[in-house]
Structure 1
Amino acid sequence: MKRGIQLLIVALASAGLVFSGCDKPAEEPATTEEAAPEEPTEEEAAPEEEVVEEEEAAEVNEDMYVNAAFEVTCVNAQIEDPARATEIKNEIYPRYGFTEESFNAAQEQMAERESVKMAIETRMEKCTAELAESLAEAGAAEGEEAAAEEAPAEEGSAAKKAPAKPRPAKTGSMNGNFGGGGFEGASIRMMVRPDFKVNGQVRGNREGAAFAIPFNGEVSTDGTISATGERDGNTVSVSGKLTSAGAAGKIEGSVHQRDYSVNYNAN
């Protein structure tokens, strides 16, 4: 019996059935989800400030303004009926490229210029009721002439261009000084218009007494200047030559009962 038990134990040992400690099951690693990286927030671009450019004030043509201002001033002085005066002025404004509003704006800009005031004052000496009334007709005639010149030629026909009108070598306002003969601070101001008309003024002091003499005249197609004037017993005769550089010549006459003859150069 004892022998049988021993053999059973040996058999079991050889078969590898000896009991051993139970192994603990391995823990499965916990799976964790990685958080998705946040996308950076785009900053809104700051709006750029708009740069507002200042518009340059339109430059007023002095010659055109003087022509319009003289005619408007003449109408205001001579036409008593307000409705008729307005009717004539409405013909004048477009003749020189203005509306009533743009003319008023130009007046604020130009009215205090000495050359402008002098030119208008000189021409107003010829303003009459007949002249003021005729300005409406002159405006209509010039408007029709301008429209005819600007009308396009018919298709297929040869365009006939009107010959260019002659113009003075230089137009607009010119200024110069002169001395000698007892004059102090004496100057000449001259305006040459595209229609070859000349007007202006000589002024200053002679032996302490002031004088101012307006003059009117014309310049020929070859540039010869001829103009005269008189005020308060003082006289002036302006002669000379007009070129693209300006005007130069002689001023002669009488100031404070004394004759004079001096040279001038205006540009």
Structure 2
Amino acid sequence: MNVSKADRLQQIIEILAKNKRISTKELQEKLGISISTLRRDLISLQATNTISRTHGYVSLLENSNVEIAYATRRSENVAVKNKLCKYAADLITNGAAIFLDGSSTLTFLPKYFAGKENLHIITNNINIVDEVTQLRNIDISVLGGQISNRSNSILGPKAIYDLNNNYRPNLNFISCSSIDENGIYMADESQTYMKRAAIAKSEKTILLIDHTKFGKKDYILLSDFNSKKIKTIITDKTPSTAIAKNITSSGIDLIVTSTQ
């Protein structure tokens, strides 16, 4: 089975989180990949200050963030992310106030705003700011706070305070790290707190997620399916029967853009 680069990098981080130090040979055996593929993956993680490599061993840096670097995530499954965003844009009406979080998927959404008028975008991500400022008839507000250089997102108490006290979005578009039959998960605490605040302050939330994230469970529960604010989940392939049943039985619309 082919495993995406983003998934391999996440697997490496999870292994290193359990093993303070591991040899590249043992890591290769655990992953079941070629030494050349492992070398390229380790170079990617080292470039984002996630790991250190010394004398045939690899270790997770103590101050590293377990979230995969933004540039890596954005380059994965581009066609699928575009498809999800194109569908999501059709749910947006003129004059809406919209929160877009720091998920790499959502940077593909603004280009589908063409033809819409008087949208009010609120975001905590500087890449989304760059995309939106090129559009007409759309204004944008950026939350204040500390920028995470791994995700290009503005996170922390200041950003959450800004959102809580100054904005009430009609729509909130987010993504997540994984979904199983019990709920929606994240792999980063700061991102989780920001997403929870956005869910709470928005009239309704729409989750965009590609099929590779189904059936997995990261260690932070973002939300179960009983949330009154999460109204729609848009994906590219139908999840397992158990996941689909729990989503729809909770009153959440499950929209599959493609079954191929």
TM over 0.5: no
Which is richer in helix?
Answer: 2
Q: TM-score, normalised by structure 1?
A: 0.29
Tell which has more relative contact order, 1 or 2 (C-alpha 8 A, sep 6+).
2
Which is richer in strand?
Answer: 1
Which structure has the greater CA radius of gyration?
1
